[in-house]
Amino acid sequence: MIYADKLQKTEKRLAQIEHEISQPEVVKDQAKYQKLTKEMAEIRPLVGAYAEYRRAEEELAALSEELNSKKLDAEMRDLYREEEKSLKQKKDALLEQIETMLIRDDDPRSGRDVIAEIRAGTGGEEAALFVADLFRMYSRYASSLGLRLEVMDSNPTGIGGFKEVIFAVSGSGAYAKFKYESGIHRVQRVPATEASGRVHTSAVTVAIMAEADETEINIDPADLKIDVYRASGAGGQHVNKTESAVRITHLPSGVIVQCQDERSQHKNKARAMRVLRARLYEAEQERRQLEQSRERKAQIGSGDRSGKIRTYNYPDQRVTDHRIGLTLHSLNDILNGHLDEMVGALERDERNRKLMSAA
């Protein structure tokens, strides 16, 4: 296997981590302990898949010896050939799984939690309603993966939509699963507000950013302009009597973040800082990737938000991902959070592109 050296190094690293976290001085250092356990959780599946792959290879070698034996009768030979076929399929599946995990390894954001932003684009109230649909889709998808979703901020409209929703997704592999969603999502349907029954096209933008911790993004308090104000719901509902909403402007970059969903000013400020760090971290990652590759915009999962990535067509009950030309006639299932087939196809396409470029 061409990845054997890297995989063997990963095995040694896992053994080293397991030894380190058993040491009393490491257990006492919570920051180091959490960092090591997080790294361990990220590489353990890869080591496990590699161990299974080697076992499949050993079993295939043993079967090959048996098949070359003259002692087998016709019935046993057929049974062994069936077993050989099954093992080869298992080995191929494990190799695909290993390649996918190795490629994720190359992106420093892969094992991170996510800050996601969904915003209504063209289409007015219909676009705002589709923001709510996408938010529900992502909520259910996160739940199906065992990931935790936390709303950071939202701006609801009067009839059940959102001008924007900002939320965090935390848990193993959150970024790796959500990164393909960055871009423009287009919906084609008859709006609930349309009396004539004509199909309209609206657009929503989705931004997926890896969450960064305080040690990675150094933000000088002197670079921040912090404003507080009273939060309010759609149409002036749920007006707070205290100034709990927070708006933070990062002066060097011009990035503005605001949070108002919590009743506590302190909690809103903490959430706004998390979103700000994620935006600054993502901007830095994009800058580095642009420096490393002029072809970045053609890469799947690059995070480029300038183009249309997917269309949801209600009349035909289809969803088309324009990056890979995949159309699925299962719109309701997808909007109910069943994104595995779509994400799996995007993962395979990304893996194939990266393996071809590395060849």
| 274 shares a domain with 158 | yes
Q: What is the mean pLDDT of residues 74-86?
A: 88
pTM: 0.66
Q: How far apart are CA 352 and CA 296, in angstroms?
A: 15
| 66 shares a domain with 21 | yes
| 238 shares a domain with 149 | yes
pLDDT for residue 296 is more than 70: no
pLDDT of 135-176, one tens digit each?
999 999 999 999 999 998 899 987 889 999 999 999 988 998
Pairwise pLDDT comparison (282 vs 3), residue with the higher score: 282
pLDDT for residue 269 is more than 70: yes
| 136 shares a domain with 52 | no
* Domain-ending residue, one of 105, 132, 161: 105
Q: How far apart are CA 296 and CA 277, in angstroms?
A: 23
| 246 shares a domain with 303 | yes
| 214 shares a domain with 172 | yes
Specify the number of domains making up the chain: 2
| 61 shares a domain with 90 | yes
Can you give 73-131 as a three-state secondary structure string? CHHHHHHHHHHHHHHHHHHHHHHHHHHHHHHHHCCCCCCCCEEEEEEECCCHHHHHHHH
| 135 shares a domain with 36 | no
| 131 shares a domain with 58 | no
* Domain-ending residue, one of 55, 76, 105: 105
pLDDT for residue 235 is more than 50: no
The dihedrals phi and psi of 70, each to the nearest 5 degrees, come to: -85, -5
User: Which of 83-97, 103-117, 158-172, 252-266 bottoms out in mean pLDDT, i.e. has the lowest?
Assistant: 103-117
Output the domain CATH number for residue 204.
3.30.70.1660
| 313 shares a domain with 174 | yes
* Domain-ending residue, one of 105, 128, 151: 105
Report pLDDT for 198: 86
| 303 shares a domain with 216 | yes
User: Which of 181-185, 241-245, 259-263, 348-352 bottoms out in mean pLDDT, i.e. has the lowest?
Assistant: 241-245
The dihedrals phi and psi of 137, each to the nearest 5 degrees, come to: -60, -50
pLDDT for residue 88 is more than 90: yes
Q: How confident is the model at residue 305 (pLDDT cuts 50, 70, 90)?
A: very low
| 165 shares a domain with 47 | no
Q: How far apart are CA 31 and CA 49, in angstroms?
A: 29
Report pLDDT for 357: 60
How far out from the chain centre does Cα 56 lie?
A: 31
User: Which of 1-10, 231-240, 275-284, 298-307: highest mean pLDDT?
Assistant: 275-284
Q: How many CB atoms are closer than 10 A to CB 66?
A: 14
Range of the domain at 242: 114-358
The dihedrals phi and psi of 249, each to the nearest 5 degrees, come to: -110, 125
